[in-house]
A and B are shown apart, each in its own frame.
Chain A
Amino acid sequence: MVHALRRIHGAIRPGGIVADLRPDRFARPRQSRPQLPKIYWATDGRDRLQGVLDKVPENLRKHRAATRAVERVLQRGLFLLEGTETFPFRYHFRNVGVFERRLGTVWKDSVLRRSVHRRLQMVQKHSQAGHIVVIEPLRLNILRKR
């Protein structure tokens, strides 16, 4: 990752920007508990929390390494951290079936607990008008080339 950042550093003009956009799993490399996506049932204009979406250890390791890589290039003076912002990135799923399909194809690094799955099935049964919202906390780091 540091290697990739060095290459990118060479490809941008002096004073140019790297916008590092990714899930805000670990704000600091030594942070013990990761921030995980939260799963809601949205109905009547309200989001009701149903649980979190767990991630496999490999996903957590990768995100911790990314945070560490950014720290390293800042320490080496390649970039200046000009700003940072965290914000919610929302996925909307029409129903539990669509959500399950995403988990089985794109989100193979995610684990849906049985208890949360059951809760979603139950809430869908009782509130057909709603849908699933998954909120992934994202972080944007603005790195300016020195």
Chain B
Amino acid sequence: MKGCRRDPERTEVRVLRRHVSLKGADILEIGCGDGRLTRRIAHLARSVVATDPNEAYIVRAKAGTAASLQAKVRYRVAAAEDLRLPPQRFDVAILSWSL
């Protein structure tokens, strides 16, 4: 939304990195929305699977993801309850305001 900035101080990702090692990790992000946090962590990760039940958000997330990150980020439309996930595939799962 024009005229609205969300966490330009990057407090969220700073706090997250203080507790979780994201470097080289396979990350599952649930509730990625328009990819705000996804884009901020993707450069650190080995891979990111980012999901959200809202298709319009996923479309925006894909459009907003830099070409350099597109090889490691996969977006999926799904609710947390309906996710079909391979066993023991991820190092870190981030519940982004989704629980």
Interface, chain A (partner B; CB < 8 A): 1, 3-5, 7-8, 10-14, 16-23, 66, 69-70, 82-83, 85, 87-95, 97-99, 101-102, 105-106, 138, 140, 142
Contacts and interface: CB of A to CB of B under 8 A. Distances in A.
Given A23-B97, A90-B9, A140-B15, A17 B83 contact: no
Nearest to B79: A4
Q: Kindly list the 6 A-B residue pairs having the minimum CB-CB distance in the complex, ordered from nearest.
A: A94-B3, A11-B85, A98-B3, A4-B80, A66-B99, A92-B5
Given A12-B91, A138-B12, A22 B99 contact: yes
Interface in B39-87: 80-81, 83, 85-87
Interface residues of B, number: 36
Interface of A is mostly: strand
B19 to A, nearest CB: 5
A91 B9 CA distance: 10
A102 B6 CA distance: 12
Nearest to B88: A13
11 contacts: A1-B99, A7-B80, A10-B87, A12-B88, A13-B91, A16-B90, A18-B95, A19-B93, A21-B97, A66-B99, A90-B11
